[in-house]
Amino acid sequence: MKKFAENMLDFIYESPTQFNAVEVSAETLEKNGFEKLNPKENWKLEVGRKYYTTKNSSALVAFKVNSDEIEKEGFRIIGSHTDSPGFRIKPNAEMESCGAYLKLNTEGYGGMILSTWLDRPLAMAGRVFLRGENPFKPVEKIVNINKPVCIIPNLAIHMNRSINDGYKYNKQTDMLPLVGLINEQLEKDNYMVKLLASELNVEIGEIIDFDIFLYEYEKGCFTGANEEFISTGRLDNLSMYYSSVEALLDSDSKSGISIAVGFDNEEVGSSTKQGADSNMLLNILERICISLGKDRQQFFEAIENSFIISSDLAHAVHPNVNGMADPTNRPVMGKGPVIKVHAGQAYTSDGYSISVYKEICRECGVEYQEFVNKSDQRGGSTIGPISSTHIDIPSVDIGAPILSMHSIRELGCSEDFYNTYKTFVKFYEI
């Protein structure tokens, strides 16, 4: 269990953005015999082999072809997402302040807890596009500038005496990262392009554009009296993405098609070509069927014999603010994965899909919990109900319970992540 958690921490630290996460997991898949499929080419799949494909370098679908009777045995799918809330660097980002400071213009991505980003050394990562031989085929480079290059400083309490009474942070004015002092060594103009050119060892003129995000430089760690907790950024949702890919690697599946899919852009609504609110997964499922010689009727039969686990994280009851939890459904860290339920279908779980997951937990000896929002407050949602609008496959929403969701550092329990992973392995193997 501890080793699993250690490896997950390493993966999260090596994956500061969705682009890095897909790159790292693709390398792992290839080391374990998975072949990369080009979506622009004809797929010729074979039973007993393993494959993966990507979309936008930020979403990934990996699968094993266990059988050629998929019309009877269907698809076993675990869905998650690769993105996390944070700050994206804008074009023309350099801003001079007070005639002395250089800061960067950024915009928020998703709903983060803003105050947690203050006074923390920040690094940068993402992707850069370089000039290629064809305008439609620029050269893509995944980058990770793994050093503390900037920081978002707080205002001293002496200048805001009411800060502890509550403060509404403005993303455009309060949350801009400080890079350094403008002097002979640090010029204002083209700081970002020069930084990226230096990192990639290319000429400035080769850089066309970039998608670069900030992230906390400090690596996650174990904490708690018995080191039972994990404190790190991006647990939401790299922990579930990592667990699903690892379960796919470790499972000995005999029937149907085992699939792990990591969508992008869940934190901003999923309405992109690589998000859950697209036909990305549906198209891949159909291509799998076609490449195995199945007709459209058999494809529909396969869909009817399939099941999806939508895996995102869940809210644990807070030790200091437990009144925000439902009176009778109060998940606790260390007590196993959480089944998420919502009458309005913000979660896709229903009686049938919940029963399936409970039986999976029973078969692998894992304790489970249930989460329901308080009836007088709005909760969040997941990829589950969004993807269900494109693929009519029974689905259950589950996830490990955590605290501090959408903070720059979230808090979970090693045992919960490991037990969730165990249910994923069992799901593929049944």
pLDDT of the residue at 396: 96
If asked whether residues 243 and 205 sit together in one domain, one would say no
- The boundaries of the domain holding residue 53 are 2-84+233-429
If asked whether residues 106 and 143 sit together in one domain, one would say yes
Q: What is the CATH number of the domain that holds 154?
A: 2.30.250.10
If asked whether residues 279 and 155 sit together in one domain, one would say no
On whether residue 228 sits in a domain, the answer given is no
If asked whether residues 346 and 268 sit together in one domain, one would say yes
If asked whether residues 356 and 250 sit together in one domain, one would say yes
pLDDT in tens, 345-401: 878 999 999 999 999 999 999 999 999 987 667 666 677 777 888 889 999 999 999
On whether residue 6 sits in a domain, the answer given is yes
pLDDT in tens, 198-249: 999 999 999 999 999 999 999 999 999 999 999 999 999 999 999 999 999 9
pLDDT in tens, 235-271: 999 999 999 999 999 999 999 999 999 999 999 999 9
Q: Is the pLDDT of residue 312 over 80?
A: yes
Q: How far, CA to CA in Å, does 294 sit from each of 6, 279, 288, 291, 393?
A: 42, 19, 9, 7, 19
pLDDT of the residue at 189: 81
Mean pLDDT across 295-313: 96
- Contact assessment for residue 128 and residue 210, using Cβ atoms and an 8 Å cutoff: yes
pLDDT of the residue at 342: 83
- Mean pLDDT (the chain, rounded): 95
If asked whether residues 63 and 188 sit together in one domain, one would say no
Q: What is the pTM of this model?
A: 0.96
Q: What angle do CA 351, 252, 32 make, to 5 degrees?
A: 120
Q: What is the CATH number of the domain that holds 386?
A: 3.40.630.10
Query: Residues with Cβ < 8 Å from 50, sequence gap 6 or more?
Result: 29, 32, 33, 34, 35, 62, 63, 64, 65
If asked whether residues 91 and 73 sit together in one domain, one would say no
If asked whether residues 365 and 412 sit together in one domain, one would say yes
Domain count, the chain: 2
pLDDT above 90 coverage of the chain, percent:
89
On whether residue 227 sits in a domain, the answer given is no
On whether residue 184 sits in a domain, the answer given is yes
**105 residue type, one letter:** N
Q: Is the pLDDT of residue 182 over 90?
A: no
Q: How far, CA to CA in Å, does 170 sit from each of 89, 167, 204, 323, 383?
A: 16, 9, 33, 28, 29
If asked whether residues 64 and 202 sit together in one domain, one would say no
If asked whether residues 332 and 205 sit together in one domain, one would say no
On whether residue 75 sits in a domain, the answer given is yes
pLDDT above 70 coverage of the chain, percent:
98
pLDDT of the residue at 385: 73
pLDDT of the residue at 383: 78
If asked whether residues 238 and 280 sit together in one domain, one would say yes
If asked whether residues 237 and 199 sit together in one domain, one would say no
Q: How confident is the model at residue 184 (pLDDT cuts 50, 70, 90)?
A: low
Q: How confident is the model at residue 327 (pLDDT cuts 50, 70, 90)?
A: confident
On whether residue 226 sits in a domain, the answer given is no
On whether residue 221 sits in a domain, the answer given is no
Q: Is the pLDDT of residue 28 over 80?
A: yes
Domain end position, chosen among 188, 216, 244: 216
pLDDT of the residue at 347: 85
On whether residue 39 sits in a domain, the answer given is yes
**406 residue type, one letter:** H
Distance CA 281, CA 279 (A): 6
